[in-house]
Amino acid sequence: MAHDERSSLSTRAALASVATALLLLGLKGWAAVETGSMAMLGSLADTGLDLLASMVTLFGVRIAAQPADHDHRFGHGKAEALVALAQVMIITGSAVAIALQSVERLLHRTETSHAELGIGVSLVAILVTLALTMYQKHVVRRTGSVAIATDHLHYQSDMLLNGTVIIALVLDQYLHLSGTDALFGLLLAAWLAWGAWSSSRHALSQLMDQEWPEAERAEFLAAAAEFPELAGLHDLRTRSSGTHRFVQFHVWVPGEWTVREAHDRIDAAEEQLQRRFPNTEILMHLDPEGHTDRETMLSSHLTETR
């Protein structure tokens, strides 16, 4: 997929998140006032933070979409990872606030009302959020956007959150199980905290230039092995930045090859690999056959000790 198309898809997904959050914020605000439900209030707080997170995502996606420039020669892709971490902090703050409010409600045994309204709003929220997550999943599959993937995870948890609001209201008002609403608020807080932790790992792996997963590295090595010119491939290094990926390695070539011959042969193999792995920047360093420099020895030692 072309860079402009990826950027356009990611931006549209971020705008869809903002629009969804605005709609649900109004509905849940009305329902929270009318029902007095702690679970609904927690859902409202989460939606308010959804709106903030979606706006941050939109900002980050637009920055990450900018092409490489003089000061950022590797592009702006890591802006997505930074945005994902900002979302994690927002989600964590939401979880703490909901947990504190739930404990207070549990201690004072505050009652809820107008269950029908709360249940109706929650059902609408589930349907709207389901449509959004389906679209986000489509965008993530096509672009690999980390920011949209994190937003997708958050909205997935929102569907569960809205479902628990319905259960809490039914148990609290129809079955008269006092304190149920507050207990569900605590469960939602724990769920949000776990989601924040899960989301942070992917973002941190990009910011720390973590290697590709072993399966992806093995796939690249298998593809490279199809080219006789790359039989001497060694010192493979990989990393990701937003939706863009980087791979670099050394390759031994026969010492009798001229510079032009080595360039033409390796360049042809690189072009084929580029087609197999789109949106990946490949950098090769040629070594005379059998040559091992100090940097390669150090890298090989680190690989062996992993």
222-257 tens-digit pLDDT: 999 999 888 888 889 988 776 678 898 999 888 888
Q: For the chain, what is the mean pLDDT?
A: 78
Which structural domain, as residue segments, surrounds residue 272?
214-304
Distance CA(113)–CA(34), nearest Å, equals: 7
Q: Given this model, what pLDDT does residue 306 score?
A: 47
Distance CA(267)–CA(230), nearest Å, equals: 11
Residue 65 backbone phi and psi in degrees, to 5? -75, -15
Distance CA(192)–CA(157), nearest Å, equals: 7
Specify the pTM: 0.54
Q: Given this model, what pLDDT does residue 76 score?
A: 63
Q: Given this model, what pLDDT does residue 292 score?
A: 64
What is the average pLDDT across 142-170?
77
Within 8 A by CB and 6+ apart from 211, the residues are 217, 237, 238, 239
Q: With contact defined as beta carbons under 8 Å apart, do 269 and 230 qualify?
A: yes
How do beta strands 280-288 and 244-253 pair? parallel
Q: Which amino acid is at 95?
A: A
Q: Which residue has the higher pLDDT, 73 or 237?
A: 237
Domain count, the chain: 2
Q: In this structure, are 172 and 234 located in the same domain?
A: no
Neighbours of 130 (CB within 10 A): 15
User: What's the CATH code of the domain at 180?
Assistant: 1.20.1510.10
Q: With contact defined as beta carbons under 8 Å apart, do 165 and 43 qualify?
A: yes
16: helix, coil or strand?
helix
Q: Given this model, what pLDDT does residue 242 score?
A: 63
Last residue of a domain, one of 172, 207, 242: 207
Question: Tokens 């709360």 appear where?
Answer: 118
Last residue of a domain, one of 207, 223, 243: 207
Q: In this structure, are 111 and 166 located in the same domain?
A: yes
Q: Given this model, what pLDDT does residue 301 score?
A: 45
Q: Check pLDDT > 70 for residue 187.
A: yes
